[in-house]
Amino acid sequence: MQYCKSDRDCFMRLMNICFCLTASFSIFLACNKVASQKNTNNESLVNKSSIESKGDIRAWIQPRVFGLTVGKSTLKDVRRRFGKPTWIGANQEKVFTDDAEDEILVQYFDRKVPEVYGTFGRVNLDIVIGKKSKILKVLGIYSEKAISKEDVISMYGGEYFEINGWESDCIEKDRVVGPTSRKLIYPILLAYPNKGISVSINDANYMVYIEYRGRCVKE
């Protein structure tokens, strides 16, 4: 042990110790903040953004995602959130065929969206807007990463309805919750009406895309 040579020497040593302790504490707080932000970014999108329904799980809700509410937000809100679209034009494959209003397709390619980057990586967005109303009707996400069916169920829960991709996801009361015993033709859909979500699954049991919608699609 080395003893202080003078009062000034003791004071300087004490100041150095205090400085080291302060720096260490600051680093500790910074690391905790980074870890907390990382965990937040990697949270399931549905836990962060969707509105949960407390009623009938077969009833569709208007989900909220990326700060937008499907069925309420407008094209102006979409542009404010994501900026200038990569492409915008008439939607040739109309989603809601029972609706007299024509649709506009707004596309954003290869986007890094903070809310889902940890889970999906970079994404392509297909956004359907009412031509006259300018209301957001559908927000579709195509993931850069391979997301398995098991991953989807882990993220969004077991209260889904498994149906053929060509079937209506207006769920009837006799439809069973979870895996079905029916023979399905791929691609299939996992419908989560009470989360406003429909997920397309291919024959390799991986997600093709996920759609946020405020209502079901009739056949």
Residue 213: predicted pLDDT: 96
Share of the chain above pLDDT 70, in %: 75
Does residue 39 register a pLDDT over 90?
no
State the first-to-last Cα distance of the chain, in angstroms, to the nearest integer.
84
User: Do the Cβ atoms of 65 and 45 come closer than 8 Å?
Assistant: yes
Residue 185: predicted pLDDT: 96
Residue 211: predicted pLDDT: 97
Does residue 31 register a pLDDT over 60?
no
Does residue 87 register a pLDDT over 90?
yes
Tell me the pLDDT band of 219, cut-offs 50, 70 and 90: confident
Mean pLDDT of the chain: 84
Q: Which residues of 161-180 are buried (b: 16+ CB within 10 A; e: fewer)?
A: bbbebebebebeeeeeeeee
Does residue 17 register a pLDDT over 80?
no
- Mean pLDDT on 199-216: 97
- Using CA atoms, how far residue 63 sits from 32, 51, 54, in Å, is 31, 5, 13
Q: Tokens representing 75?
A: 């094209």
Q: Which of 27-31, 65-69, 75-79 has the lowest mean pLDDT?
A: 27-31
Residue 56: predicted pLDDT: 84
Write out pLDDT tens, residues 92-142. 999 999 999 999 999 999 999 999 999 999 999 999 999 999 999 999 999
What string of DSSP letters covers 47-78?
Answer: HHHPPPPSS-TTS----EETTEETTT-BHHHH
- 179 sits in which H/E element: none
Does residue 21 register a pLDDT over 60?
no
More confident position, 1 or 189: 189
- Mean pLDDT on 53-70: 88
Positive or negative, the Cα torsion across 201, 117, 159, 64? Answer: negative
